[in-house]
Structure 1
Amino acid sequence: MIFILVMVFLAGAPGLGWWAGRSSYLSDVRAEEWERTHVFAVTAQLVGEPASTPAGTVAPRAATAHWTAPDGTPRSGLVPVEPGSRSGDTIRVWVDDRGRLRGQPMDRDPMAQALMAAAAAVLCLAGAVAGLRKIGLGLLDRHRARAWQREWLAVGPLWSKDRR
């Protein structure tokens, strides 16, 4: 049984790891490409004083700012600001191709992600194989215990007779 499970693992692990890594890599590359063509850094000018936060809190501060969208339309809204920012300061904000605020694009490493996805898939396969082994051993042990009990029921009464 162990031989079969090891062979299943050795046969399945390379293909599963390759598939998971390739899928992750292609997904990250597509996401990078999308962000490169649809997310832009623009300069915004603060036009309002940052809202004050209660003492002792770590809430991010925000202020009203104006910026120009990539298509040339003027935009405004609340943007996160650093402490000490004042009206008239310029800051960099990230917007989509329509000028709506977005978070900064993620710093991606598709190859590292692919390696982690492949390793995770192979570890999951190893866990599944180990689980199958555990289930198989449990079934075999149950079968052996039943066989032992059947044999004992046949032989036990012969041993327990008084032989004087």
Structure 2
Amino acid sequence: MTAATRSPSVVRRTCRRVGLDRNPMRRREDRLQLAVAATLTLLFLIIAPLLSISVGGRIYQTEDRIAQAQAAQLHQVDATVLEVGKAPLYAPITPARVQWRDAQGATHTSDYQATGVLKAGATVRIWLDGAGRVSEPPSSTRAFSKALVITTGLVFAIMVCFGCGYALLRRGLDRRRARLWEAEWATVERMWGNHGTRPDQA
């Protein structure tokens, strides 16, 4: 069998599985299920990008403004590493003791946690807040990360709601199809008497 003849066969099988063929045996419930599935899929493909752009964009802008405001209250100075502690096994940080001078020439000493390897006597750039305390450096990825997490959660929640709604609909339609199947075979048995044999009783 060539690819040219195999391709239409694959298309026909796919259409038959999703209910797009013209099979006269398909019930109204089958067409309703297909229509709901197509509608929910289309709605999800429309809502998900719009939600990501609108909600995600607003969250990113808000968090970015907060990060810029926090960064404006910080400043950097050069500090000298006095001693280095032992890095814990559960976190990729190196505790250290650092010392620096402020603009007035006063000496300050404080604990510092670095994400890399430090040696005593080395010079590091540290961030200080308005009160002169060692602070965490401003994050350049916090706004994007928070927007991504919240948007992903909302999209997942919508997908779950759509999936649960479709599952409930399909369950109800399956029950209705089963009742119709039983009623139709009861009619056939009355018409044929003992000559009719149900497929599930063969």
The structure where helix makes up a greater share of residues is 2
Residues 1-164 of structure 1 mapped to structure 2, 5 A cutoff: 1-6=36-41, 8-9=43-44, 12-13=47-48, 15-46=50-81, 48-51=82-85, 53=86, 60-67=93-100, 75-80=108-113, 82-86=117-121, 89-108=122-141, 116=148, 120=152, 123-124=155-156, 125-126=158-159, 128-152=161-185, 156=189
Aligned length: 155
2:79 and 2:125 in contact (8 A); partners too: yes
CA distance change for structure 1 residues 122 and 70 in 2, over 3 Å: closer, same or farther? farther
Amino acid in the other structure paired with 1:31: I
Identity of paired residues, percent?
Answer: 21
TM-score (ref. length: structure 1):
0.62
Give the secondary structure class of the aligned counterpart of 2:97.
strand
TM-score (ref. length: structure 2):
0.53
Counterpart of 2:28 in structure 1 is none
Residues of 2 paired with 1:100 and 1:159: CA distance?
93
- Alpha-carbon distance, 1:12 to partner: 3.4
Amino acid in the other structure paired with 2:140: D
CA distance change for structure 1 residues 92 and 158 in 2, over 3 Å: closer, same or farther? same
- Alpha-carbon distance, 1:65 to partner: 2.3
CA distance change for structure 1 residues 72 and 150 in 2, over 3 Å: closer, same or farther? farther
